[in-house]
Chain A
Amino acid sequence: MPYIYINIILAFVISLIGTLIYRSHLISSLLCLEGMILSLFTLNALLSLNINFALSTIVPLILLVFAACEAAVGLALLIIISNTYGLDYVQNLNLLQC
């Protein structure tokens, strides 16, 4: 069982690194953010089930609600960027030129 926890924490770290490193698309970083939330959900669900504490099953559900709101706002920002520049390349975000 600890092996599975290690793999899920490793998946969180991998998608955290993916969020912080930009390539060409902005939506790839949003996708890695969604991956972070998926790994947190899986970890929370497994912990709640394995310590047999039924009330803490609320935590992964509420986490998913917050993740949905965050994805909505992130995608709205992406839409504005895509409307202004045509594509969501991060090299277009160069208003601050220093």
Chain B
Amino acid sequence: MMYVVFIMSVLYVVGFIGFSSKPSPVYGGMSLVVSGGLGCGIVTSSGGSFLGLVVFLVYLGGMMVVFGYTIAMATEEYPETWGSNVVVLSAFLVGLLMEVFMVMWLFSGEHELVGFYFSGLEGLMVLGEGGFEYVREDYSGGASLYSYGFWFLAMAGWMLFVSIFIAIEVTRKRY
């Protein structure tokens, strides 16, 4: 399982194709949740466990829950899946075929693309976990939001506060 991160990124793209082919939004939301989980796995494999947790808690647990009950409010009686409509199925298959061809092209020799050299899979080996981090980068980076990035924090907090009022006034049609 040395190439598990690459397989996770391929499944990530397949999940994206799954909701980009526009089935009923219920199934699109489910596909986005699956892609979010795989994205968390990709980020965590590079040592970013804090950022993976942020994806699960804030993105999936906050934003996707809101999307979920909004979709439940604005949904139809017979939701269409990937298999019930020819358009959705063909879009999904075209995207899947494109991804398969891209992976096959990537592994068919050496390529140079915008400064990156692709040769084989040796750049993807998951290295040993033996104490190479004395400083947890993502935790200290997240903590520096409160010290060096105080202005970021102030602007983000103010923006969240104002957007509550924006959402309320827009819903009351006072724009």
Contact = CB atoms under 8 A, between A and B. Distances in A.
A69 B160 contact: yes
Contacts, number: 207
Contact of B149 (A2, A58, A68, A69): A58
A27 B75 CA distance: 10
Given A14-B16, A49-B43, A49-B46, A35 B152 contact: no
Given A55-B144, A62-B152, A64-B54, A80 B171 contact: yes
What DSSP secondary structure best describes chain B's contact surface?
A: helix
A45 B51 contact: yes
What DSSP secondary structure best describes chain A's contact surface?
A: helix
B160 A65 contact: yes
Interface residues of B, number: 72
Interface residues of A, number: 60
Interface string B1-44: 00001100110110011011110110011001001100100110
B48 to A, nearest CB: 5
